[in-house]
A and B are shown apart, each in its own frame.
Chain A
Amino acid sequence: MRDPRIEKLAELIAGYSLDLKEGQVYRIDGEDVSVPLAVALYAAAIRRGAHPYTKITPSGLEEIALEEASDEQLTYIPELEQLATEQLDAWTSLWGTVNTRSLTRVDAERRRLQLSTHYRMVNRRWERISSGELAWCGTLYPTQAHAQDAEMSLSEYEDFVHGACHTREGDDPIAHWRAMSETLGARARELEGVRELRITGPGTDLRLVVEGRRWLPSDGKHNMPDGEVFTSPVESGTSGDIFFSFPSVFQGQEVENVRLRFEDGAVVHAEATLGQEYLRSLLDTDSGAKVLGEVAFGLNYEIDRFTRDILFDEKIGGTMHVALGGGFDEAGTENKSDLHWDLICDLREEGEVYADGELVWKAGSFLSEPEPAVERV
């Protein structure tokens, strides 16, 4: 049976996120488990006069490649992928999978090699996204595996996903995301006047310098769901302590109760109750891995719980997150790293945020609405 919410989600992505136009070449990528959404996206694209096609990969191929491929095969980039990366007008990545931990036990070195090739393509993709040549949106088709990670039944998880995307029955998702875009844009402009942020909460008292950096709204163009404002902080300006109450899953490995101490922008002390070794190995990735590449406010209040999936978790309304490693060019970063690891700090109970000494956020919300944008005449 067709789930009308999936059709709604597809219309939202084709019509709002990607704004697909007549004649545009559009590829939909995903694993076999995401087929219903791929089919709905294809139909939405056809209705807009675009030229869609799909690349549906059987689950498990990455694992097979890790077992069977030579290093040369593992790092091979098909010419077709290069052409797609250079030429597509629009692209959707469907992240739904059948098992979120299928690669937990593979050879870490081989996996790094496999991913390094993948990231080269992703980096080039981002160049074209940033320059406006390519519209790209990543989303997730709800599956049992993701529901299991979120400790929900599939039907509960579907409700959760469509709530977060505003694609429930009766919702007007495009109107919602347009309004959200206004609000987030206004908030970003407001934050651009701030020199220093101070975040306090349980185990947390952290100062970040954000002066001169650009704040960007994540308003459903590149992710669905979405809902954050973020920037890349000044590299040498982070100092103090931060505690992350949510577990963090990175590349299929879990780390719990991470505590970090920063001095002059870099991590000087790191501990975790689970995955301490892994935490330290990630920090040792390269020199940029100890420095923050991102600080962000999670502002999607339909996402009200931790689900072990960063697409949702980093947008939980009332949280902040920081990322160790590479920052965003468009925010003005200077930090380079192969790592970009988001860690989420729950500020919904006792958290406070001060902007240049003034309390602006308490218990998970900004204290004031952002100034609305000036109407253009």
Chain B
Amino acid sequence: MHKRLAEVLVGYSTEVRKGDTVRIESYDTTALPVMREAYAAALRAGGHPTANLVLEENDETLYKEGRDHQLDWISPDQQWNIEHGDVWIVFDAVTNTKRLSNVDPERISRRLIARRPLQSLYLERSARGEFRWCICGAACEASAQDAGMSLRQYEQVLARAAFLDQDDPVAAWKQFGERLERVGDFLDGVRELRVVGEDTDLKLGVEGRTWIRAKGLRNFPDGEVFTGPQETSVEGTIRFSFPAMMRGRQADDVRLRFEGGEVVEATAKRGQDFLREMVGMDDGARRVGEFAFGLNESISEYTGNLLLDEKIGGTVHLALGRSVTGTGGENESGLHWDMVCDLRDGGEVYADGELVYRDGAFTNGIN
């Protein structure tokens, strides 16, 4: 299965070509076997791979003991990769998803702000097609534990979500991509969306913005269609069904109220301070940088891993903060924090006043 996944990532998602530099990373030793397979697959594709296990414990040391100049510093390998690298494959296996729960949120936001220029470059080069990166779901005990299952069960969830259980995963992704095109084509003609659900009634202007069909290139597994809504257009309230996870921290039962595109009220049952710190990080952190439909029906359960949760077929999500280059979104921020709202049980979406989506599925024949 590792080899199969590696072949799809190298051959389909990032299309490694002769001479490409390929940086392969993960955070937990559980991912070492799949990192080795990706390294081998990148070599077979003619690339120049390197692999690096990122040590999460060092992050903790940096946040707790580092001085400001150390917190703001960017290592030469990260800098080079963003500036000059061709391909970057990250397996999201981690050691402990809550490892930074007790770190001062101000320190986290300081580091995010320091990395803003690098983030922008990363998104620009990505939008220009010069930098092909992929964040790939990888099994690890920490994520399995968050999902309330065993490592083996989590591996199966991932394999299903990534179509690796199908005979020809690449063909399956291409076919699924056609469906995402249909959804995107429809949304391209929409001016305003209204999302209605439990404690949720939110309007977003999306006219003139580009809907990106996420077909397994930058995320794997994948399956969403997203854009950057008009910065001042967002009005109303939204309540997120799933805990909002960010850099090893979380906020539960987040509710946001928007006026003129900005968050005017933000509450959480747990993690309220963290939520406020993040929303107050910079001007852009109060605005919505992304709105998306999750469309992957091979992902049905909440796992606590955003990479999977935001793609659950029947959900929508929005991100506070930076918009994604290529969507037409113009919001800038050190933050990009996705939060997911489940619409499968009674949720509705109206496109320019017309009901087009109910109980987690489009009702206008584009599914």
- Which residues of the partner chain A approach B73 to less than 8 Å between Cβ atoms? 51
A32 touches B29 (CB 8 A): yes
B66 touches A32 (CB 8 A): no
Given contact pairs A38-B55, A64-B43, A79-B84, A87 touches B50 in the complex (Cβ within 8 A):
no
Given contact pairs A46-B65, A64-B36, A35 touches B55 in the complex (Cβ within 8 A):
yes
B51 touches A58 (CB 8 A): yes
- Which residues of the partner chain A approach B69 to less than 8 Å between Cβ atoms? 23, 49
Within 8 A of A (CB), among B197-224: none
Query: Does B70 interact with chain A (Cβ within 8 Å)?
Result: yes
For the complex, what is the distance from the CA of A55 to the CA of B78, rounded to whole Å?
Answer: 11
For the complex, what is the distance from the CA of A55 to the CA of B75, rounded to whole Å?
Answer: 11
Closest CB in chain A relative to B117 CB, distance in Å: 17
- Which residues of the partner chain B approach A23 to less than 8 Å between Cβ atoms? 69
- Which residues of the partner chain A approach B84 to less than 8 Å between Cβ atoms? 79
Query: Does A73 interact with chain B (Cβ within 8 Å)?
Result: yes
Closest residue of chain A to B44 (Cβ to Cβ) is: A68
Taken residue by residue from 42 to 63, chain B's Cβ proximity to chain A (1 for < 8 Å, 0 otherwise) reads as: 0110101011111101100110
- Which residues of the partner chain A approach B80 to less than 8 Å between Cβ atoms? 79-80, 83
Closest CB in chain B relative to A16 CB, distance in Å: 20
Partner of A69, one of B36, B43, B58, B70: B43
For the complex, what is the distance from the CA of A51 to the CA of B65, rounded to whole Å?
Answer: 12
Closest CB in chain A relative to B87 CB, distance in Å: 13
Partner of A49, one of B32, B44, B46, B70: B70
Query: Does A112 interact with chain B (Cβ within 8 Å)?
Result: no
B70 touches A73 (CB 8 A): no
For the complex, what is the distance from the CA of A167 to the CA of B58, rounded to whole Å?
Answer: 22
Query: Does B331 interact with chain A (Cβ within 8 Å)?
Result: no
A57 touches B61 (CB 8 A): no
Closest CB in chain B relative to A26 CB, distance in Å: 10
Taken residue by residue from 64 to 87, chain A's Cβ proximity to chain B (1 for < 8 Å, 0 otherwise) reads as: 110111100100101110011001
Query: Does B35 interact with chain A (Cβ within 8 Å)?
Result: yes
B35 touches A58 (CB 8 A): yes
Given contact pairs A42-B58, A46-B70, A78-B21, A55 touches B43 in the complex (Cβ within 8 A):
no
Partner of B75, one of A47, A53, A76: A53
Given contact pairs A55-B77, A61-B36, A76 touches B53 in the complex (Cβ within 8 A):
no
- Which residues of the partner chain B approach A83 to less than 8 Å between Cβ atoms? 76, 80
Query: Does B269 interact with chain A (Cβ within 8 Å)?
Result: no
Query: Does B291 interact with chain A (Cβ within 8 Å)?
Result: no
Query: Does A60 interact with chain B (Cβ within 8 Å)?
Result: yes
Q: Tell me what chain B mostly uses at the interface: helix, strand, loop, or mixed.
A: helix
Query: Does B39 interact with chain A (Cβ within 8 Å)?
Result: yes
Closest CB in chain B relative to A203 CB, distance in Å: 46
For the complex, what is the distance from the CA of A53 to the CA of B25, rounded to whole Å?
Answer: 14
B70 touches A51 (CB 8 A): yes
Given contact pairs A46-B61, A57-B52, A73-B48, A80 touches B40 in the complex (Cβ within 8 A):
no
Number of interface residues of A (CB under 8 A): 36
Within 8 A of A (CB), among B177-236: none
Partner of B40, one of A35, A49, A68: A68
Given contact pairs A58-B53, A80-B80, A83-B76, A42 touches B61 in the complex (Cβ within 8 A):
yes
For the complex, what is the distance from the CA of A42 to the CA of B65, rounded to whole Å?
Answer: 11
**B contact residues, range:** 20 to 34
- Which residues of the partner chain A approach B61 to less than 8 Å between Cβ atoms? 39, 42-43, 46
Query: Does A311 interact with chain B (Cβ within 8 Å)?
Result: no
Within 8 A of A (CB), among B15-50: 21, 29, 32, 35-36, 39-40, 43-44, 46, 48, 50
Closest CB in chain A relative to B163 CB, distance in Å: 26
A65 touches B53 (CB 8 A): no
Query: Does A100 interact with chain B (Cβ within 8 Å)?
Result: no
Closest CB in chain B relative to A57 CB, distance in Å: 6
A80 touches B65 (CB 8 A): no
- Which residues of the partner chain B approach A56 to less than 8 Å between Cβ atoms? 52-55
Given contact pairs A43-B65, A56-B52, A64 touches B76 in the complex (Cβ within 8 A):
no
A64 touches B58 (CB 8 A): no
Closest CB in chain B relative to A14 CB, distance in Å: 13
Closest CB in chain B relative to A11 CB, distance in Å: 14
- Which residues of the partner chain A approach B81 to less than 8 Å between Cβ atoms? 80
A78 touches B50 (CB 8 A): yes
B55 touches A54 (CB 8 A): yes
Closest residue of chain B to A69 (Cβ to Cβ) is: B43
Q: In this complex, which of B36, B50, B58, B80 has the most chain A Cβ atoms within 10 angstroms of its Cβ?
A: B58
B53 touches A32 (CB 8 A): yes
B66 touches A46 (CB 8 A): yes
Closest CB in chain A relative to B336 CB, distance in Å: 23
Closest CB in chain A relative to B173 CB, distance in Å: 25
Closest CB in chain A relative to B62 CB, distance in Å: 6
Closest residue of chain B to A74 (Cβ to Cβ) is: B43
Closest residue of chain A to B35 (Cβ to Cβ) is: A58
A54 touches B58 (CB 8 A): yes
- Which residues of the partner chain B approach A54 to less than 8 Å between Cβ atoms? 52, 54-55, 58
For the complex, what is the distance from the CA of A79 to the CA of B20, rounded to whole Å?
Answer: 12
A39 touches B67 (CB 8 A): no
Contacts beyond the supplied A39-B57, A49-B70, A51-B70: 20 A-B pairs with Cβ under 8 Å: A23-B69, A25-B76, A42-B61, A46-B62, A49-B69, A51-B75, A53-B77, A54-B55, A55-B52, A56-B52, A57-B52, A57-B53, A58-B51, A61-B36, A68-B43, A73-B43, A78-B21, A79-B21, A80-B50, A83-B76
Top 5 closest pairs, chain A to chain B, by CB: A53-B75, A56-B53, A68-B43, A42-B58, A43-B61
| A residues neighboring B (CB under 8 Å) | 23, 25, 32, 35, 38-39, 42-43, 46-47, 49, 51-61, 64-65, 67-70, 73, 76, 78-80, 83-84, 87
| B residues neighboring A (CB under 8 Å) | 21, 29, 32, 35-36, 39-40, 43-44, 46, 48, 50-55, 57-58, 61-62, 65-67, 69-70, 73, 75-78, 80-81, 84
> 14 A-B pairs, CB-CB below 8 angstroms?
A23-B69, A25-B76, A32-B29, A43-B65, A51-B73, A53-B75, A53-B76, A54-B55, A54-B58, A55-B52, A61-B51, A64-B39, A80-B80, A80-B81
